[in-house]
Structure 1
Amino acid sequence: MLGLSSRPPDPALVGGSWRTTWFDRLRQMPFLAAIWLTHQRRDAYWRHGSICEDYSRVRIPVLAIDGWADAYANAVGRLVARLPGPARGIVGPWAHRYPHIARPEPTIGFLQEARRWFGRWLKGQATGVEADPAMRCHLSESQTPDPDFPPVAGRWVASRAWPPPEVARTPYYLGAGTLGPTPDPGAPTQSVRSPQDLGLASGRFMPLGIGATGPGDQAGDDAKALCFDLPARDDRLELLGTPVLELTVISDRPQANLIARLCDVGPGGESRRVTWGALNLTHRNGHETPEPLPVGEPVRVRIPLNDCAHAVLPGQRLRLALSTAYWPTLWPSPEAATLQVVAPEARLLLPVRDPGDGAPEWAFEPAEGAPPGASLDFRSGECDILVEERTLEDGATRVSFRDDYGGKRFNEHGLLFDSWGEHVMTVHPEDPLSAHAETSWVHELGRGDWQVRTESRTTMRADATSFHLSAELIAWEGGVEVARYTWAEAIPRDGV
């Protein structure tokens, strides 16, 4: 955000005032990363923009659309379940892009859906949207994990409400590395204390479906986690809704994270992430009032995983993987915690759906779209994730995300736009306080003699009591540096 916010207005739009506006913007630039980190609990800062504070205020018809690979998919079901007016939801397999151009496929006729919705509620046309199911979801099927977003096998299913009334919340109990339909009184208490670099196969938290940035084969992370498997299927197991983990844990530290992943595991051991959820256990009684864990005492916790729609096919098995770390998605606890999982008191509630005959229950029109605006690509880009384990120096693990969407020149108005960024996260497997993150961005704009550039760099680390953030922003005009700003903040940890 520091890099995005630093860009100037276009002189072709605002005229000669662009420079004054730009300099004013740079001088008043907020350090958003530090502002956000001062609010580590759910306080008024977050509540003021949260629709869940009062759903009744939304009195217009809502068509909510997202993808299972996006970071916001849970919002669709919540809106459909709680909005007072007409509400419908569509969730495909997509990352964070519009569903007529998104990856992974299948895409849908999103523009046709929008035309039906607006035709009914803005023009009074009889388009039939009132009869549409409350939720239409793409239900994926077992396939080889691939971070490069190949097309997803599966079908479209429909539900008249959310949570789906046709789904049975089915309990499976944690045993000695197993999941079973009944509690095992003899199941041992098991411990989990994860290396800090568990999570390297997680992919980007909010991918755009570009490059190899999705979740990859989870087998490496599974090997470092505490795992519980259902036996290999001889039938089809369909999940639609919100899996929930309920368990009793005992911690040896006052703060700990617990991460739960559901994975679809093949006969060869390849593991595909279906969904996941996490809880900072100091937030077990709510995000408003974190409370330290009582060290050495049993605590009951409930962890909803992200909504999902997935079918585990015959020959595959479903795995629950538990960990206390998930790098680089989650920042580490100040101390490496060991959690004891009291197995007989732990269960996984799965939203099991009757698969019926396996036929699609909904069909969308094919994807359509206007031709893109006339532009000239002058530099190709590439987005990917690079993982490097440093064994020759200090044994730390380095993860590098590259964001590079290439450069474009827009023929119709002559604007040249180019940007690229890199995000480097480093952690030592045995030291949570070694975590270090750095993100840098370059943004360039130009047209003829008008050429501007900004470079930003933000770093973050933490000690046992505080987060430490720093940033630098440099601006150039015509190859000459015209502004430089720096920030440095120390922010106390608040149950994180």
Structure 2
Amino acid sequence: SPYWRGASLRPDYGRIECPIFLIAGWRDGYSSTMLRMFQRLTVPRKILIGPWVHSRPNVSVPGPRIDYAREMARFFARWLRDEDDGFMDEPAVAAYMQEFAPPRRTRDVTPGSWRAERAFPPQGAADLVLHLGPEGVLADAAGPPGHDEFDYLATVGVSNGYWSAGGLSFYLAEDQRPDEARSLCYTSAPLARETHLLGWPRVILHASSTARVATFVAKLSDVAPDGASALIVDGSLNATRRASVAEPSPLEPGTVYELDVPMAPTGYVLGAGHRLRLALAGSDFPNLWPTPEPARNRIYRGAARPSRVILPVVGPPAEVSPVFAPPPSLDSPVRVSAEPPLQQVIHDQVAGTVTMHNRRATTTVLEGGGGALWNESRLRATATDADPAQASVAGSHRYRLERPDGTVEVVAESVLRATADAFHLEITLAVTRNGAPYFSRSWTVSEPRRLL
């Protein structure tokens, strides 16, 4: 839309004329943006991409955590002080190749290794195509023509990783089997050899729906010999945006469309004996807002309608693996203490709703009697399979600054609710000083869904 286009680099990456050093995380929401920027820039550039979430590489959970400031200092020394220690002569791409670990949201370190490349896509990269086949198989060749179906369930997705620009405590996905039990799945045979993936997987579906508005969510997972299913990467497409994000058009129920589901990029090593699984669903709650219409979706397969997964496969590393220093221990002018975080999924068996609830709170104390800042964030996202149009998200932020000259508290609360044809947003802001009202304001707005 024009609102976002004005700040976008995509119309002309050539506007950037200075050297660029990009730092990204595979589990961050901006991994596609960073890797795409690296590909399209024409200036001297480097990219460092680790297993990190939306957090700095020296503190990210999961790690490994590194001294990224040292790499930044080398970059700035080269281009601002003309001190050349060979930083720009090293391979332009440093990517962490993740490996299987038992899926847990609270994992501290992701196993894997660093890989260096001179370019992206790497030299010698090739596509590995796996076709959706009968009986839930991912196969090397297209099978006989056929189709499979799944019902749209608005609450599928709670096993996925949650993404937020700094607003959650734990981002990683859990074992995918609870969501896979409510999805349409295709699984490969055990891999005969280790397979290295680096780049964007693609998921091409030939699909139809009984609804005018339907989302197709694709998740690729690493299935261990014991059956545990660890998310590698995911993607989604609201099929009304199949031709244009800015100008959506409704689906014609029963019509078959070819859908290219945008997937996030990854660096991942599939171990020998492991299997690859594709899980398809109509929702990814609470990451995606549920579409409003009940639906039964159909996936076609076979040579004439080749629904398939395309994997970006690279060979063994050709460059020496980069080595990064561990993060240093730094002094801080503040002391930060955190309360135990809360993250729950609540299934109300009476109301038939599923709610994701998150709470976190910290206290920051300034040295020298400068005061203390307490803050709390809460999030509640609710959906139901019975009526997917009736989803809601409620959030609140509270800040209380205590100083010798008084106490100021700020409370911001918002609720976003949906009906079949509109979104309804309510926001309130209240400020108190020493317990007395100081400022308040509220906003209420409704917007049509526009095929969302």
Provide the TM-score with structure 1 as the length reference: 0.87
Find the residue that maps to 2:391 and give its secondary structure: strand
Among residues 216, 223, 238, which one is paired with 1:280 in the alignment? 238
Q: Could you say which residue in structure 2 is the equivalent of 1:185?
A: 144
Find the residue that maps to 2:388 and give its secondary structure: strand
Q: Could you say which residue in structure 2 is the equivalent of 1:362?
A: 321
Q: Which amino acid aligns with 1:346?
A: S
- Please list every run of 5 or more consecutive structure 2 residues that lacks an aligned counterpart in the other structure: none
Q: Could you say which residue in structure 2 is the equivalent of 1:400?
A: 357
Cα distance change, pair 295–194 in 1 and its aligned pair in 2 (3 A): closer
Q: Could you say which residue in structure 1 is the equivalent of 2:312?
A: 351
1:95 to 2:53 alignment: yes
- What does residue range 80-479 of structure 1 map to in structure 2 within 5 Å? 80-176=38-134, 177-186=136-145, 188-206=146-164, 211-344=169-302, 345-355=306-316, 361-369=320-328, 371-377=330-336, 380-391=338-349, 393-404=350-361, 406-412=362-368, 414-479=370-435
Contact 1:452/1:478 (8 A) holds in 2: yes
Q: Which amino acid aligns with 1:98?
A: R
- What does residue range 1-20 of structure 1 map to in structure 2 within 5 Å? none
Contact 2:197/2:268 (8 A) holds in 1: yes
Give the structure with the higher percent helix.
1
Q: Which amino acid aligns with 2:67?
A: G
- Please list every run of 5 or more consecutive structure 1 residues that lacks an aligned counterpart in the other structure: 1-42
Find the residue that maps to 1:333 and give its secondary structure: coil
Find the residue that maps to 1:432 and give its secondary structure: coil
Q: Distance in 1 between matches of 2:269 and 2:167?
A: 22
Cα distance change, pair 244–474 in 1 and its aligned pair in 2 (3 A): same
Q: Distance in 2 between matches of 1:202 and 1:414?
A: 41
- What does residue range 35-54 of structure 1 map to in structure 2 within 5 Å? 43-54=1-12
Provide the TM-score with structure 2 as the length reference: 0.95
Of stretches 300-309 and 159-168 in structure 1, the one that deviates more from structure 2 is 159-168
Q: Distance in 2 between matches of 1:421 and 1:209?
A: 8
Cα distance change, pair 108–364 in 1 and its aligned pair in 2 (3 A): farther
Q: Distance in 2 between matches of 1:154 and 1:213?
A: 18
Q: How many residues align?
A: 448
Cα distance change, pair 408–436 in 1 and its aligned pair in 2 (3 A): same
Contact 1:148/1:209 (8 A) holds in 2: no
Q: Distance in 1 between matches of 2:339 and 2:405?
A: 25
Contact 1:148/1:210 (8 A) holds in 2: no
1:18-74, Cα deviation, whole Å (9 max, x unpaired): xxxxxxxxxxxxxxxxxxxxxxxxx11000111112100000000000111111111
Contact 1:74/1:307 (8 A) holds in 2: yes
1:55 to 2:13 alignment: yes
How much does 1:269 deviate?
Answer: 2.0
How much does 1:471 deviate?
Answer: 1.5
Q: Distance in 2 between matches of 1:207 and 1:288?
A: 24
Contact 2:240/2:250 (8 A) holds in 1: yes
Contact 2:98/2:112 (8 A) holds in 1: yes
